[in-house]
Homo-oligomer: A and B are copies of this chain.
């Protein structure tokens, strides 16, 4: 499969993405404008429009950028031990977002728009597929090494992503970051029950 992390961002595009990040956290999705992104970027709206025709096109690129950041952070996990690696991946998915609740709010708004916007829908599907692919590789590695039970790795990774997405949704809707802790604990219990 094509690694979404193969998508490259020039230095300028990276700076626009970082400005988008800040603008999204401050204004949310509905109130985001190219003007607000340009203000964060410190240049004119024309400078942003040179790279991205519309707000939705820019936001689709932003979803690519977020995945790339996530994949980069995963590449820094240097253990190859499947049990440890799975725990660290779940930490990235459920502990890391606790640092950034405003981004989670904006992302849930964008996710809720997936049924109406094909560019968002494609990205969310592709990103989910890639994260499941990484989780599945670890599960299969553990099965091969005999440290995990011989489970249906596809189902188990989908279940883990269900727990991840449930925790993220609940943290935003119920305005309670401890929902991410609960989901992290649920994922731990599920892994213990299914894989060990």
Contact = CB atoms under 8 A, between A and B. Distances in A.
A14 interface: no
Size class of A's contact patch? 35 or more
Contact of A189 (B105, B109, B175, B193): B193
Interface of A: 28, 30, 105, 108-109, 111-116, 121, 124-125, 128, 155, 158-159, 161-170, 172-175, 179, 182-183, 185-186, 189-190, 192-194
Contact of A111 (B159, B163, B169, B193): B169
6 contacts: A121-B175, A162-B163, A162-B183, A165-B170, A166-B169, A193-B194
Nearest to A162: B166
Given A121-B175, A189-B194, A190-B190, A161 B155 contact: no
Contacts of A172: 111-112, 114-115
Contacts of A159: 163, 182-183, 185-186, 189
Given A125-B174, A166-B169, A190-B190, A155 B185 contact: yes
